[in-house]
Amino acid sequence: MTAIDAALSFNPARDPMRLRRMVTLGVLAIALILALILALGIGAVAIAPSQVVAILVQHLGITTGVTFDSYQEAALTSVRLPRLLLALASGATLGIAGASLQALFRNPLAEPLLIGVSGGAACGAVAWIVFGGLGLGLGAWGLPFAAFGASLIATAGVMLGARGEGRLDISTLLLSGLAMNALTSAILGYIIYLATESQVRALTFWMLGSLGGATWDAIAPAALLMALGVGALVLLTRPFNALALGEAEAGHLGVPVERVKLVTVVAVALGVGASTALTGVVGFVGLVSPHIVRLIGGSDHRFVIPGSALLGALIVTLADVVARTLVAPAELPIGVVTSAIGAPFFFWLLRYRTHQAVRR
């Protein structure tokens, strides 16, 4: 039963919590729409809301009395719209990826960073840029695929390292992820050492994260890959719930545990790889979103997964608004903004919440 089926068979008198969850999702969706309107209107180029609407509908062939100049149109259609779509796609992907990894590891502190997904993606993308993959003629598909491929290799390596007696042990997996991260950062460092001065400048900025590179050509393939990964994870909400009981208990409930783990890892690598390839490393979204959602409406993944997608998209959209307005007409790296919000949250979490959340 998916979240939609659940919503259709819903009777609020039976389950007050479900009402609260549906209201939360509704509020998040409305907040996201408001944030989108805000993000479309705010930026170095001033565009009034009425002008935003006028420009958008003009592309549908409707003319309005509202006037706007060509710079406003260019800023909206060539820069802000693709950028906003990238914010939505990568934010939702990071939120869902974080929630999924937390479900898989049965640990609320899991992040794509932990199992080497981000490190691998970073290695792949950096190698692609430095070793001239851009010249191979694969166009916009090359970079996200390179990032996905490398993150999958890294993640597969971690899983092989952690596989003992035919089973995948979660604590060993976390430790293998730690080792893999050490390895990927060493590879990353070596590639950067080989890079030219100008490539290093480009790479450092990319590693801090930025949505500034969103062009229509680049986001289409990456968004497709992200959609594939997210689509697979959305189907796993009930198995994720069962996994919270433990792997053996999930198995007793009929969950094909090994298959769920494999699909999750591949789907997360796909989503995070494609997202990282375009935006660079945007940290903490995958940690913060599921947590806040859980605090509001509990841990049922039929709620946590869509909630994390909405909240992740909201956070990245707003963080990008901050990133491109704070020092306009120049821009801040978005990773700096999300980390500035996320890192204190992480500390608070470590200090006050983990001892409750991981009680077994």
Q: Which residue in 85, 246, 262, 322 binds other proteins (CB under 8 A)?
A: 246
Residue 338 beta carbon to other proteins: minimum distance, rounded to whole angstroms: 17
Q: Which residue in 29, 36, 45, 227 binds other proteins (CB under 8 A)?
A: 45
The answer to whether the CB of 286 falls within 8 A of the CB of 112 is yes
Using rule CB under 8 A, residue 241 touches other proteins: yes
The beta strands (E) that lie in the chain are given as: 163-164, 167-168
Window 85 to 124, contacts with other proteins (CB under 8 A): 102-103, 106-108
Residue 238 beta carbon to other proteins: minimum distance, rounded to whole angstroms: 6
Residue 190 beta carbon to other proteins: minimum distance, rounded to whole angstroms: 14
Nearest CB to other proteins, comparing residues 87 and 154: 87
Q: From residue 280 to residue 309, what is the string marking binding to other proteins with x (rule CB under 8 A)?
A: --------------x---xxx---------
Window 325 to 354, contacts with other proteins (CB under 8 A): 328-331
Window 165 to 224, contacts with other proteins (CB under 8 A): 165-167, 196-198, 201-202, 205, 210, 212-218
CB-based burial, 259-288: b 16+ in 10 Å, e otherwise: ebbebbbbbbbbbbbbbbbbbbbbbbbbbb
Q: Which residue in 133, 149, 161, 251 binds other proteins (CB under 8 A)?
A: 251
Using rule CB under 8 A, residue 256 touches other proteins: yes
Q: What are phi and psi of 64, to 5 degrees?
A: -120, 170
CB-based burial, 122-153: b 16+ in 10 Å, e otherwise: bbbbbbbbbeebeeeeeebebbbbbbbbbbbb
Cα–Cα dist 125/145, whole Å: 9
Helix (H, G, I), strand (E, B) or coil at 164: strand
Cβ count within 10 A of residue 34: 11
Using rule CB under 8 A, residue 75 touches other proteins: yes
Residue 2 beta carbon to other proteins: minimum distance, rounded to whole angstroms: 10
Q: Which residue in 253, 326, 340, 350 binds other proteins (CB under 8 A)?
A: 253
Cα–Cα dist 93/268, whole Å: 8
